[in-house]
Amino acid sequence: MKVVLLAAGRGTRLKPWTDAQPKVLIPVAGKAPLERHLEHLRAAGIEDVFINLHHRPDLIRGRVGDGSRWGLRVRYAFEPELLGTAGAVKNLERDLSGEPFLVVYADNTVEADYADLVRFAADRDALGVIAVVEKDDVSGSGILDIGPQGRIARFLEKPEPAAAFSRWVNAGIYHFRPRLFEYLEPGFADFGRDVFPLLLERGEPLLAYVLKGPVVAVDTPDLLRTATRAGRESP
Protein backbone atom coordinates (compact mmCIF):
# COMPACT_ATOMS: atom_id res chain seq x y z
CA MET A 1 0.00 0.00 0.00
CA LYS A 2 1.12 3.53 -0.80
CA VAL A 3 0.82 6.57 1.47
CA VAL A 4 0.85 10.30 0.78
CA LEU A 5 2.22 12.34 3.67
CA LEU A 6 1.08 15.94 3.22
CA ALA A 7 3.97 18.13 4.34
CA ALA A 8 3.95 21.16 2.04
CA GLY A 9 2.18 23.72 4.24
CA ARG A 10 3.87 26.96 5.29
CA GLY A 11 2.53 26.85 8.86
CA THR A 12 1.95 30.61 8.94
CA ARG A 13 0.18 30.50 12.31
CA LEU A 14 3.34 29.06 13.87
CA LYS A 15 5.62 31.90 12.86
CA PRO A 16 8.41 32.61 13.69
CA TRP A 17 9.25 28.92 14.21
CA THR A 18 8.22 28.05 10.66
CA ASP A 19 10.36 30.77 9.11
CA ALA A 20 13.38 28.54 9.67
CA GLN A 21 11.89 25.07 9.23
CA PRO A 22 8.76 23.30 7.97
CA LYS A 23 5.96 22.76 10.44
CA VAL A 24 6.25 18.97 10.14
CA LEU A 25 9.83 19.11 11.51
CA ILE A 26 9.14 21.21 14.62
CA PRO A 27 9.77 18.89 17.60
CA VAL A 28 6.73 17.98 19.68
CA ALA A 29 7.81 16.30 22.92
CA GLY A 30 11.22 15.67 21.42
CA LYS A 31 10.29 14.32 18.00
CA ALA A 32 9.05 15.80 14.74
CA PRO A 33 5.49 14.78 13.73
CA LEU A 34 6.75 13.69 10.31
CA GLU A 35 9.16 11.23 11.89
CA ARG A 36 6.45 9.81 14.15
CA HIS A 37 4.26 9.12 11.13
CA LEU A 38 7.12 7.36 9.35
CA GLU A 39 7.68 5.14 12.40
CA HIS A 40 3.98 4.26 12.66
CA LEU A 41 3.69 3.50 8.96
CA ARG A 42 6.65 1.14 9.01
CA ALA A 43 5.27 -0.58 12.14
CA ALA A 44 2.09 -1.23 10.13
CA GLY A 45 4.05 -2.95 7.36
CA ILE A 46 3.68 -0.05 4.93
CA GLU A 47 6.80 0.69 2.89
CA ASP A 48 5.93 3.01 -0.02
CA VAL A 49 5.63 6.72 0.89
CA PHE A 50 5.20 9.94 -1.08
CA ILE A 51 5.84 13.30 0.59
CA ASN A 52 4.69 16.54 -1.03
CA LEU A 53 6.97 19.54 -0.55
CA HIS A 54 6.82 23.31 -0.85
CA HIS A 55 8.15 25.29 2.13
CA ARG A 56 11.83 24.58 2.92
CA PRO A 57 11.85 21.32 0.94
CA ASP A 58 15.60 20.96 1.39
CA LEU A 59 15.19 20.43 5.12
CA ILE A 60 12.62 17.65 4.72
CA ARG A 61 14.71 15.90 2.07
CA GLY A 62 17.76 16.24 4.29
CA ARG A 63 16.01 14.78 7.33
CA VAL A 64 14.16 11.91 5.64
CA GLY A 65 16.32 11.13 2.62
CA ASP A 66 15.23 8.03 0.75
CA GLY A 67 13.47 6.64 3.83
CA SER A 68 15.86 3.72 4.32
CA ARG A 69 16.49 4.79 7.92
CA TRP A 70 12.93 3.62 8.64
CA GLY A 71 12.92 0.74 6.18
CA LEU A 72 10.77 2.79 3.80
CA ARG A 73 10.92 3.85 0.18
CA VAL A 74 10.28 7.60 0.14
CA ARG A 75 9.69 9.70 -2.96
CA TYR A 76 8.92 13.40 -3.22
CA ALA A 77 6.59 15.68 -5.17
CA PHE A 78 7.67 19.32 -5.11
CA GLU A 79 4.91 21.92 -5.58
CA PRO A 80 6.13 25.31 -6.87
CA GLU A 81 2.66 26.59 -5.93
CA LEU A 82 0.65 24.93 -3.17
CA LEU A 83 -1.98 22.55 -4.53
CA GLY A 84 -4.01 22.00 -1.35
CA THR A 85 -4.66 18.65 0.31
CA ALA A 86 -6.67 17.16 -2.57
CA GLY A 87 -4.67 18.86 -5.32
CA ALA A 88 -1.51 17.26 -3.95
CA VAL A 89 -3.10 13.82 -4.24
CA LYS A 90 -4.34 14.53 -7.79
CA ASN A 91 -0.78 15.49 -8.67
CA LEU A 92 0.28 11.93 -7.78
CA GLU A 93 -2.53 10.18 -9.68
CA ARG A 94 -0.19 8.27 -11.97
CA ASP A 95 1.57 6.73 -8.96
CA LEU A 96 -1.56 6.04 -6.88
CA SER A 97 -4.25 4.90 -9.29
CA GLY A 98 -3.59 1.16 -9.19
CA GLU A 99 -4.78 0.28 -5.67
CA PRO A 100 -6.22 1.76 -2.45
CA PHE A 101 -3.95 4.24 -0.70
CA LEU A 102 -3.67 6.34 2.45
CA VAL A 103 -3.43 10.12 2.84
CA VAL A 104 -2.02 11.52 6.09
CA TYR A 105 -1.69 15.12 7.27
CA ALA A 106 1.92 14.96 8.43
CA ASP A 107 1.74 18.00 10.71
CA ASN A 108 -0.73 16.39 13.14
CA THR A 109 0.53 14.65 16.26
CA VAL A 110 -1.37 11.37 16.42
CA GLU A 111 -1.04 7.81 17.67
CA ALA A 112 -2.63 5.77 14.88
CA ASP A 113 -2.76 2.07 14.14
CA TYR A 114 -2.54 2.26 10.37
CA ALA A 115 -2.74 -1.51 9.96
CA ASP A 116 -6.08 -1.59 11.77
CA LEU A 117 -7.41 1.26 9.62
CA VAL A 118 -6.40 -0.60 6.45
CA ARG A 119 -8.16 -3.76 7.67
CA PHE A 120 -11.28 -1.76 8.53
CA ALA A 121 -11.39 -0.20 5.05
CA ALA A 122 -10.67 -3.49 3.26
CA ASP A 123 -13.75 -5.08 4.83
CA ARG A 124 -16.04 -2.31 3.57
CA ASP A 125 -16.91 -1.14 0.08
CA ALA A 126 -16.56 2.59 0.52
CA LEU A 127 -14.78 5.08 -1.70
CA GLY A 128 -13.26 6.71 1.37
CA VAL A 129 -12.71 6.15 5.08
CA ILE A 130 -12.03 9.18 7.27
CA ALA A 131 -10.35 8.73 10.65
CA VAL A 132 -12.20 10.72 13.31
CA VAL A 133 -11.87 11.67 16.96
CA GLU A 134 -14.35 13.20 19.39
CA LYS A 135 -13.47 16.63 20.77
CA ASP A 136 -15.19 19.13 23.03
CA ASP A 137 -13.69 22.08 21.16
CA VAL A 138 -14.27 21.68 17.42
CA SER A 139 -13.17 25.18 16.44
CA GLY A 140 -10.71 25.07 13.59
CA SER A 141 -11.70 21.50 12.65
CA GLY A 142 -13.77 19.78 10.01
CA ILE A 143 -16.80 18.16 11.66
CA LEU A 144 -18.88 15.14 10.63
CA ASP A 145 -22.37 13.80 11.18
CA ILE A 146 -22.07 10.02 11.48
CA GLY A 147 -25.10 7.88 10.69
CA PRO A 148 -25.89 4.14 10.81
CA GLN A 149 -23.02 1.70 10.12
CA GLY A 150 -20.59 4.59 10.47
CA ARG A 151 -21.63 6.23 7.22
CA ILE A 152 -20.88 9.95 7.09
CA ALA A 153 -24.02 11.96 6.36
CA ARG A 154 -22.62 15.47 6.47
CA PHE A 155 -19.25 17.24 6.52
CA LEU A 156 -18.55 20.89 7.32
CA GLU A 157 -15.09 22.43 7.34
CA LYS A 158 -14.24 24.79 10.23
CA PRO A 159 -17.79 25.87 11.13
CA GLU A 160 -18.69 28.94 13.11
CA PRO A 161 -19.53 28.00 16.74
CA ALA A 162 -23.27 28.43 16.19
CA ALA A 163 -23.16 26.11 13.17
CA ALA A 164 -21.36 23.21 14.88
CA PHE A 165 -23.62 20.13 14.77
CA SER A 166 -21.19 17.47 16.00
CA ARG A 167 -18.22 16.74 18.26
CA TRP A 168 -16.74 14.29 15.75
CA VAL A 169 -13.82 15.89 13.90
CA ASN A 170 -11.66 14.98 10.94
CA ALA A 171 -8.32 13.55 12.16
CA GLY A 172 -6.50 14.06 8.84
CA ILE A 173 -6.02 10.38 7.97
CA TYR A 174 -7.86 8.91 4.97
CA HIS A 175 -8.13 5.63 3.07
CA PHE A 176 -9.26 5.99 -0.54
CA ARG A 177 -10.05 3.71 -3.43
CA PRO A 178 -8.65 4.79 -6.81
CA ARG A 179 -12.00 5.92 -8.19
CA LEU A 180 -11.52 9.03 -6.05
CA PHE A 181 -9.61 10.43 -9.01
CA GLU A 182 -12.84 10.62 -11.01
CA TYR A 183 -13.80 13.53 -8.73
CA LEU A 184 -10.46 15.38 -8.62
CA GLU A 185 -9.47 18.09 -11.07
CA PRO A 186 -5.92 19.38 -11.59
CA GLY A 187 -5.02 22.47 -9.60
CA PHE A 188 -5.74 23.63 -6.09
CA ALA A 189 -8.38 21.74 -4.10
CA ASP A 190 -9.01 20.95 -0.45
CA PHE A 191 -10.56 17.73 0.83
CA GLY A 192 -12.61 19.38 3.57
CA ARG A 193 -13.92 22.36 1.62
CA ASP A 194 -14.19 20.93 -1.87
CA VAL A 195 -14.01 17.15 -2.16
CA PHE A 196 -15.89 15.66 0.80
CA PRO A 197 -19.02 17.80 0.26
CA LEU A 198 -18.95 16.85 -3.44
CA LEU A 199 -18.62 13.12 -2.72
CA LEU A 200 -21.53 13.22 -0.26
CA GLU A 201 -23.64 15.19 -2.74
CA ARG A 202 -22.99 12.53 -5.37
CA GLY A 203 -23.98 9.75 -2.97
CA GLU A 204 -20.51 8.22 -2.67
CA PRO A 205 -20.11 6.24 0.58
CA LEU A 206 -17.72 7.76 3.09
CA LEU A 207 -17.21 5.95 6.39
CA ALA A 208 -15.88 7.07 9.76
CA TYR A 209 -13.11 5.17 11.52
CA VAL A 210 -12.76 6.11 15.19
CA LEU A 211 -9.17 6.53 16.36
CA LYS A 212 -8.35 5.16 19.78
CA GLY A 213 -5.76 7.82 20.62
CA PRO A 214 -5.84 11.63 20.66
CA VAL A 215 -5.00 13.91 17.76
CA VAL A 216 -3.39 17.30 18.21
CA ALA A 217 -3.27 19.67 15.25
CA VAL A 218 -0.23 21.73 16.17
CA ASP A 219 -1.36 24.86 14.34
CA THR A 220 -0.61 27.62 16.87
CA PRO A 221 2.00 28.35 19.57
CA ASP A 222 -0.55 27.46 22.27
CA LEU A 223 -1.31 24.09 20.66
CA LEU A 224 2.39 23.39 20.27
CA ARG A 225 2.95 24.03 23.97
CA THR A 226 -0.05 21.84 24.86
CA ALA A 227 1.17 18.95 22.69
CA THR A 228 4.68 19.21 24.09
CA ARG A 229 3.43 19.25 27.67
CA ALA A 230 1.17 16.24 27.07
CA GLY A 231 4.09 14.32 25.59
CA ARG A 232 6.30 15.02 28.56
CA GLU A 233 3.59 13.96 31.01
CA SER A 234 2.77 10.67 29.26
CA PRO A 235 4.38 7.50 30.64
Q: Are 72 and 38 in contact (CB under 8 A)?
A: yes
Tally of structural domains, the chain? 1
Domain with 87 in it: 2-233
Task: Give SS3 for 50.
Answer: strand
Task: Give SS3 for 78.
Answer: strand
Say which residues have a Cβ less than 8 Å from residue 87's Cβ, sequence separation at least 6: 184, 186, 187, 188, 189, 190
Q: CA–CA separation, 59 vs 81, rounded Å?
A: 18
> In this structure, which amino acid lies at residue 36?
R
Cis peptide before 100 (omega within 30 of 0): no
Question: Which string of b and e fits 99-135 if b means at least 16 CB within 10 Å?
Answer: ebbbbbbbbbbbebebeebbebbeeeebbbbbbbbeb
Task: Give SS3 for 6.
Answer: strand
Give the pLDDT band (50/70/90) at residue 9: confident
Q: Mean pLDDT throughout 36-51?
A: 96
The residues with which 175 forms a beta bridge, in sequence order, are: 102, 129
Quick check: pTM over 0.85?
yes
The residues with which 102 forms a beta bridge, in sequence order, are: 3, 175
Question: Is residue 146 predicted with pLDDT exceeding 80?
Answer: yes
Give the pLDDT band (50/70/90) at residue 13: low
Domain CATH for 11: 3.90.550.10
pLDDT higher at 10 or 60: 60
Give the pLDDT band (50/70/90) at residue 235: very low
Question: Is residue 219 predicted with pLDDT exceeding 50?
Answer: yes
